[in-house]
A and B are shown apart, each in its own frame.
Chain A
Amino acid sequence: MSERTMTGAEMVLAALADNGVDTVFGYPGGAVLPIYDAMFQQNRIRHVLVRQEGGAVHAAEGYARSTGKVGCVLVTSGPGATNAVTGLLDAQMDSIPLVCITGQVPTHLIGNDAFQEADTTGITRPCTKHNYLVKDIAKLADTLHEAFHVAKSGRPGPVLVDLPKDIQFATGTYRSPDEVSFSYRPPHEPDPAAVEKAVAMLAQAERPLFYTGGGVINAGPKASELLIELVRMTGFPCTSTLMGLGAFPASDKHFLGMLGMHGSYEANLATHGCDLLVCVGARFDDRVTGKVSAFSPGSKKIHIDIDASSINKNVRVDLPVVGDAGRVLQNMIDVWKAKQYKPKAEALAAWWRQIDGWRARNCFAYRRGDPVIKPQYALERLRAAIAGRDDVYITTEVGQHQMWAAQFLPFDKPNRWMTSGGLGTMGYGLPAAIGVQMAHPGATVIDVAGEASILMNIQEMSTAIQYRLPVKVFIMNNRWMGMVRQWQELLHGGRYSESYTEALPDFVKLAEAFGAVGLRAETTDQLDQAIADMLAVDRTVILDVAVEQTENCFPMIPGGAAHNEMLLGPEDHASTDPTAREEGMVLV
Chain B
Amino acid sequence: MSDGQPIERHTFAVLVANEPGVLARVIGLFSGRGYNIESLTVAEVDRERGRSRITLVTSGTRMVIDQIKAQLERLVPIHRVRDLTEEGPFVGRELALVKVVGESGKRGDVLRIAEGFGARIVDSSESSFVFEVTESTEKVDQFLALMAGLGKLEVARTGIVALSRGAKGIEGE
Interface residue ranges, A against B (CB under 8 Å): 121-122, 125-126, 129-131, 133, 150, 183-184, 292-293, 307-309, 311-314, 316
Contact = CB atoms under 8 A, between A and B. Distances in A.
Contacts of A316: 63
B76 A308 contact: no
Interface stretch (B18-26, B87-95, B136-144, B161-169): B18-26
Interface in B67-81: 67, 70-71, 73-77, 79
B63 A312 contact: yes
Q: Of residues A131, A184, A313, which shows the largest number of chain B Cβ atoms within 10 Å of its Cβ? A: A313
A130 B76 contact: yes
A214 B24 CA distance: 30
A126 B28 contact: yes
Nearest to B24: A125
A283 to B, nearest CB: 12
Chain B contact-residue range equals: 20 to 34
B172 interface: no
Please name the 9 residue pairs, one residue from A and one from B, whose CB atoms are nearest each other, closest first. A309-B70, A130-B76, A308-B70, A309-B71, A309-B74, A184-B76, A126-B32, A126-B28, A125-B28
B32 A313 contact: no
Contacts of B1: 292, 314
B21 A125 contact: yes
Interface string B25-65: 10010001000000000000000000000000000000100
Contacts of B25: 125
B16 to A, nearest CB: 12
A505 B52 CA distance: 57
Nearest to B78: A184
- Binding site secondary structure of chain A: mixed
Contacts of A313: 67
A129 B28 contact: no
Nearest to A150: B76
B94 to A, nearest CB: 29
Interface of B: 1, 3, 17, 20-21, 24-25, 28, 32, 63, 66-67, 70-71, 73-77, 79
A312 B64 CA distance: 9
A133 B24 CA distance: 14
A185 to B, nearest CB: 11
B63 A308 contact: no
A308 B74 contact: yes
B73 A309 contact: yes
Contacts of A308: 70, 73-74
Given A126-B32, A150-B76, A121 B21 contact: yes
Given A126-B28, A130-B77, A293-B3, 19 more contacts: A121-B21, A122-B24, A125-B21, A126-B32, A130-B75, A131-B21, A133-B20, A183-B17, A183-B79, A184-B76, A307-B74, A308-B70, A308-B74, A309-B67, A309-B73, A309-B74, A312-B63, A314-B1, A316-B63
B47 to A, nearest CB: 17
A312 B67 contact: yes
15 contacts: A121-B21, A125-B25, A129-B76, A130-B75, A130-B77, A133-B20, A150-B76, A183-B17, A183-B79, A307-B74, A309-B67, A309-B70, A309-B71, A311-B70, A312-B63
Contacts of B32: 126
A133 B19 CA distance: 11
Contacts of A130: 75-77
A130 B66 CA distance: 22
A309 B35 CA distance: 14
Contacts of B75: 130
A19 B20 CA distance: 26
A312 B66 contact: yes
Contacts of B71: 309
A312 B67 CA distance: 7
Nearest to B73: A308
A395 B71 CA distance: 31
Contacts of A126: 28, 32
Nearest to B21: A121
Contacts of B17: 183
Nearest to B77: A130
Nearest to B63: A312
A543 B24 CA distance: 47
Contacts of B28: 125-126
A61 to B, nearest CB: 21
Contacts of B74: 307-309
A133 B41 CA distance: 24
Contacts of B24: 122, 125
A121 B24 CA distance: 10
A147 to B, nearest CB: 10
Q: Of residues A150, A309, A311, which shows the largest number of chain B Cβ atoms within 10 Å of its Cβ? A: A309
A313 B79 CA distance: 22
Contacts of B79: 183
A150 B76 CA distance: 8
Contacts of A314: 1
A96 B28 CA distance: 22
A150 B78 CA distance: 13
Nearest to A182: B76
Nearest to B71: A309
Nearest to A154: B74
